[in-house]
Structure 1
């Protein structure tokens, strides 16, 4: 595991909530509906990086079989609680990361998805994931990577551009703090902050094309600085 992954492993070791804008069930239900729209059907689903299962329990009623995967035991514990509360009997949970998950699967899927996960992977790791996922994707299936950090919009979000309070003083303060974080991260050779890496959608599309896929980029409805990568074969 790389140094940056060690940082994230420590960060998520005892976490019990995903990084959603709101933990209110009303918001989670709306976010899940948006994602289900882009998943657009299928009968079997692999949700990689399912976290505490906030979205997984909303996906499950739409699929015959759902698999939730995460590398954090505490997150999977919370996910188990949610599954029991919702009586979702068609969900199986697996403890694994992007390298070990493939050896723990015994079937292929119509949809392979992840939400707010690929910001913790490098371009090379994303390419390896898409390559491995392609071997577990049914004919006509899709790989849908939700909530990718957009390098064109993420810096604007960081300085508060999308905030209701857009005072010049706050912009300046956040810009200075951001510059310090960039310098510190460069010296320590790790991502700028715990949100991880931003990824240019054109580079993700090139990776998809290299592996025989087409890709559509869609703006996230609930996160102004993120996009969805919908990957499929024509």
Structure 2
């Protein structure tokens, strides 16, 4: 059972919609093309084939254009017009004719799709969903997944590691004084957010992998979790039909 205050969730959603409305980059750790290329290679490894791909929350298309050579047809989806504008520029620059873009969110996208997919993916998106919204996303995605297909959710905030990262424990020059300063800074950020009715964490919710697995199980999927190579406080969820469900 999911328990969330509708009023609080609405405030969070409105904040994040406004925050991303005029953004023109996907918020990767580095905007350097070499880094994006390596990040895309890791994600392609976990996507593991397929001919058609839906990239939900494609943002400015940084990863989408690296996925393009590996797929016959791709659809990128984002609610932000400015993000899609940047994605369109990248697609035109690289002269890809196998990518379509759709402006939609997790509730409206499904009515705009004209086909099903071998792979449905989302990178750095799920942390902006409540568990109830994640449940709905996986349920809807399962209806647009081809036989043998996979839903691959990249870069989910790990509640076990994310607090340690925020404290600076993964920093190469971490020491006790810097960690204490970081803890104090994070406390002030959380207090300020609470007083101004903003999210306590701009990066969204940290979802326990067991909660993600429980949702996937409900729809007949099996889930494999993999630690992200490029974000030490994030993990990936590779969701596919169980062998029994595949036979149905």
Identify the TM-score tier after normalising by the shorter chain: over 0.9
Task: Report the counterpart of residue 180 of structure 1 in structure 2.
Answer: 188
Task: Report the counterpart of residue 37 of structure 1 in structure 2.
Answer: 45
Deviation of the 1:172 alpha carbon: 0.5
Task: Report the counterpart of residue 127 of structure 1 in structure 2.
Answer: 135
Q: Does 1:58 align with 2:59?
A: no
Deviation of the 1:67 alpha carbon: 0.1
User: Which aligned pairs between 1:106-125 and structure 2 lie closer than 5 A?
Assistant: 106-125=114-133
Secondary structure of the structure 2 residue equivalent to 1:194 = coil
Task: Report the counterpart of residue 57 of structure 2 in structure 1.
Answer: 49
Within 1, Cα distance between the matches of 2:29 and 2:76? 21
Extract unaligned runs of 5+ from structure 2.
1-8, 243-248
User: Which aligned pairs between 1:139-178 and structure 2 lie closer than 5 A?
Assistant: 139-178=147-186
Within 2, Cα distance between the matches of 1:40 and 1:193? 32
Secondary structure of the structure 2 residue equivalent to 1:232 = strand
Secondary structure of the structure 2 residue equivalent to 1:2 = helix
Task: Report the counterpart of residue 95 of structure 2 in structure 1.
Answer: 87
What per-residue deviation string (whole Å, max 9, x for no partner) do you get for residues 42-76 of structure 1?
00000000000000000011011000000110000
What per-residue deviation string (whole Å, max 9, x for no partner) do you get for residues 133-164 of structure 1?
00000000000000000000000111111111
Q: 2:227 aligns with which of 192, 201, 219?
A: 219
Q: 2:28 aligns with which of 20, 26, 35?
A: 20
Task: Report the counterpart of residue 76 of structure 1 in structure 2.
Answer: 84
Q: 2:215 aligns with which of 200, 207, 221?
A: 207
Q: Does 1:231 align with 2:239?
A: yes
Secondary structure of the structure 2 residue equivalent to 1:172 = helix
What per-residue deviation string (whole Å, max 9, x for no partner) do you get for residues 63-92 of structure 1?
110000001100000000000011111000
Extract unaligned runs of 5+ from structure 1.
none
Within 2, Cα distance between the matches of 1:191 and 1:197? 9
Deviation of the 1:186 alpha carbon: 5.2
8 Å contact 1:191–1:197 — kept in the other structure?
no
Within 1, Cα distance between the matches of 2:77 and 2:145? 16
Could you tell me the TM-score, scaled by structure 2's length?
A: 0.91
Within 2, Cα distance between the matches of 1:230 and 1:191? 28
Within 2, Cα distance between the matches of 1:137 and 1:85? 30
What per-residue deviation string (whole Å, max 9, x for no partner) do you get for residues 8-39 of structure 1?
11111111011111111111111000000000
Within 1, Cα distance between the matches of 2:191 and 2:58? 32
Deviation of the 1:209 alpha carbon: 0.3
The number of equivalent residue pairs is: 234
Deviation of the 1:192 alpha carbon: 1.8
Deviation of the 1:182 alpha carbon: 3.7
